[in-house]
Structure 1
Amino acid sequence: SLEAAENRANRSNERVDLGNDLPASSLAAAALAAAKTKTGLPYVYGASGPSSFDCSGLTSWAYAQAGARIPRPSQGQANAGTRLSMSQLMPGDLVLFYGDLHHVGLYAGNGLVLHAPRTGTFVRYESINNMPFQFGVRI
């Protein structure tokens, strides 16, 4: 049917090549899987889900779905685990951006971050190189 073909086309547009890096842990895998279900939902400042998110709202919600409580603000998440360089990142790790650490996302694999960027945008995948990377954090 035309509707089925259109649904297939919409899905294929959403397919992202995340490579085949293994997640850092089953916890990280579960958090990333939870966050993936929220792609396309709107960024709303201060929102912690489940229908809209800001950056740290998405990451804290995702880890909560996986059974881990992490701090809500990005600066708190920056100190919630082991710090990593870019070359050490594995899917599900937190990635912190900007000198004041005001932005956080989840490393999704293949140089991509899954994050809630800013007002007027939606939860999406983006190149890790589009923002000033500071360090990763493994929960």
Structure 2
Amino acid sequence: MQSKGLRITPQRFAVYTNLLSRSDHPTVEDILNEVNRELPISSKATIYSALTVLREVGLVKEVLLEEGLTRYDANIKPHHHFCCQNCGAIVDINWEIFSNIKLDKLPQGLRAESYEVIVKGICDHQGCQPKES
């Protein structure tokens, strides 16, 4: 964080450390619950504020895998996602798997600047159970 010119606050440190330690692409509520277990001084507004600053300096990215639900990821290297439609698990997919996508074949007048593939299906993780509604 210091290399990005950020002042390290306990809340920013807790949010960033939490994101670095997980691969499940948590929501704000997930982060809030986890952070407050160890540092019970955070509010939802504090988590949003920390995530906004971390995103602005490029340490965290927002991941939109479901309509109306923002998740966060500290893995800022290019990658894609697999979303299990049964249990809700989210798994990072290596960027090179979809390297043969032909962005130069877009309709005339369209120029791609970035892309991310979201694969939806069913995982074979042991214990995969339908997610609760």
Q: TM-score, normalised by structure 2?
A: 0.36
Larger radius of gyration: 2
Greater length-normalized contact order (CA 8 Å, ≥ 6 residues apart) = 1
